[in-house]
């Protein structure tokens, strides 16, 4: 029996080779459907994995309090209520007001150029305190992080992200060198390790969670745990950043007004995962009261981002399954049409085989195997194309992609099932042809 099936497979393969153009057009629907499933599933899985890595990097008990832009009228009202927007004092208040708040780390952003010997790579100046590196779990590959003494003595020092250090200094050792950051000259005291999960914002991941408001620096929506590439950050003492990076005076924009939103965000760590949702609501209410009733900041919980990402991924997978299903149905109809044409062309062959003793089951299995060869070949081509598209997206756009074995097996299995399902009708017609009439066919 196995030999018979192999013989049918060889016959089907020979027919595929003999009619390359016709077979290729027949397989096109299968190829497109399978490739869409593989590529889009890889992109979706990559986005979810990136979000998970970021959450693991920062910890499930971490919250982010982020400044948001408010219109001119609300800004005027807030100032009348003596609010200064998100400030370092808010972090100190949260730490004393709530027993479940274990630590708070403020983060200020500066729109400043970072340069060394004429090189000005893309970078972001970030003012932080010594507690920031512990909360974000950042580690140095060389040198040290910012210490309490740097803040106390007003030292002009900085710590560089790994990519920024490479682009600024190329083959030189960054430690001990002076870089220019806006009006400042800062001495490099440390270079961070590559930020595996706590840095880069993945575009695919941004689309998988609820978008928030952009930060004071005009950054991307707060859809991931972090909305910038930490490998391009330059970290300097927070007081130095607040006093040196003065913004243009404006009463229309809460992000550029020098008296409002002096810091970009607060990183808040609570005692346990059970406290996260309670802490999120409580912190939001307290800060709204402190800011004169103005909702000028948002509290982001990484756990909720992961849940949103998972829900979005489920919807995404369902939509992709429907799209791929339509493509596969079209491909299946193409297989049915071509097999019906093949049965008509080979009517005399069917009569000869029946005359030599082949049963109806033998004829049905032969044509089913030929349909299966077309579907499986199209499925394999679709898998290769889908993996290629996923890799191209990763290389060109920099999106995280993750191709899983389960998606490949599923795509291959579905393509085989389509070949059997849509090849069954033509095979049955072939099997039930009258042998005498088939032999008389010219």
Q: How far apart are the first and last CA of the chain?
A: 32
d(CA 186, CA 292): 37
Taking residue 143's Cβ as centre, other Cβ atoms within 10 Å add up to: 17
Contact status, residue 230 vs residue 138, Cβ threshold 8 Å: yes
d(CA 225, CA 301): 8
**Dihedrals φ, ψ of 189, to 5°?**
-115, -5
Q: What is the pLDDT of residue 177?
A: 92
pLDDT, averaged in runs of 10, over the chain (442 residues): 59 62 76 82 78 67 84 72 80 89 88 87 90 87 92 92 91 91 91 65 33 34 54 91 70 63 85 81 89 82 70 74 75 81 76 76 77 83 88 81 83 81 80 72 61
d(CA 440, CA 442): 6
Whole-structure pTM value: 0.57
Q: What is the pLDDT of residue 248?
A: 53
Spell out the long-range contacts of 314-320 with Cβ–Cβ below 8 A and sequence spacing 24 or more: 316/40, 316/44, 316/208, 317/41, 317/44, 320/36, 320/37, 320/40, 320/41, 320/44
Following DSSP, what letter does each residue of 169-220 receive, concatenated? HTTS--TT-EEEETTEEEEEEEEEPP-SSSSPPPHHHHTTS------TT---
d(CA 327, CA 334): 11
Q: What is the pLDDT of residue 254?
A: 62
Q: What is the pLDDT of residue 4?
A: 54
Q: What are the beta bridge partners of residue 236?
A: 127
d(CA 184, CA 112): 10
pLDDT tens-place string over residues 32-80: 888 888 888 888 778 777 767 766 666 678 888 888 877 777 777 777 6
């Amino acid at each position: 029996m196995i030999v018979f099936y192999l013989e049918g497979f060889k016959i089907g393969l020979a027919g595929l080779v003999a009619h390359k153009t016709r077979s290729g057009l027949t397989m096109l629907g299968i190829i497109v459907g399978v490739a869409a499933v593989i590529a889009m599933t890889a992109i979706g899985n990559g986005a979810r994995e990136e979000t998970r890595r970021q959450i693991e990097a920062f910890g499930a008990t971490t919250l982010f309090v982020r400044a948001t832009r408010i219109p001119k009228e609300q800004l005027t009202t807030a100032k009348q209520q003596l609010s200064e927007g998100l400030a370092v004092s808010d972090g100190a208040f949260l730490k004393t007001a709530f027993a479940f708040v274990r630590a708070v780390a403020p983060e200020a952003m500066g729109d400043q150029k970072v340069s060394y010997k004429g090189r000005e790579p893309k970078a972001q100046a970030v003012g932080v305190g010594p507690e920031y590196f512990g909360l974000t779990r950042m580690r140095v590959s060389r040198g040290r992080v910012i210490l309490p003494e740097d803040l106390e003595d007003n030292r002009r020092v900085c710590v560089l992200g790994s990519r920024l250090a490479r682009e600024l200094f190329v083959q030189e050792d960054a430690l001990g060198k002076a870089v220019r950051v806006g009006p400042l000259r800062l001495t490099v005291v440390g270079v961070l390790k590559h930020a595996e999960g706590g840095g880069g914002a993945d575009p695919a991941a941004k689309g998988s969670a609820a978008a928030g408001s952009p930060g004071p620096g005009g950054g991307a929506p707060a859809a991931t745990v972090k909305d910038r590439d930490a490998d391009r950050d330059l970290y300097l003492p927070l007081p130095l950043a607040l006093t040196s990076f003065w913004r243009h005076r404006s009463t229309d924009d809460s992000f550029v007004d020098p008296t409002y939103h002096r810091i970009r965000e607060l990183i808040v760590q609570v005692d346990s995962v059970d406290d996260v949702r309670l802490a999120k609501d409580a912190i939001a209410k307290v800060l709204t009261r402190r800011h004169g009733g103005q909702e000028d900041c948002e509290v982001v919980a990484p756990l909720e981002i992961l849940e949103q990402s998972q829900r979005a991924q489920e919807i995404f997978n369902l939509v992709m399954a429907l799209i791929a299903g339509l493509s596969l149905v079209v491909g299946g109809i193409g297989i049915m049409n071509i097999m019906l044409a093949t049965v008509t062309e080979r009517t005399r062959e069917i009569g000869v085989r029946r005359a030599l003793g082949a049963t109806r089951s033998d004829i049905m299995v032969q044509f089913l195997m030929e349909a299966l060869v077309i579907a499986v070949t199209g499925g394999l081509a679709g898998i290769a194309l889908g993996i290629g598209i996923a890799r191209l997206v990763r290389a060109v756009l920099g999106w995280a992609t993750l191709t899983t074995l389960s998606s490949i097996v599923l795509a291959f299995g579905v393509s085989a099932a389509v070949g059997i399902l849509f090849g069954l009708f033509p095979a049955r017609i072939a099997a039930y042809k009258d042998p005498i009439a088939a032999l008389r066919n010219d």
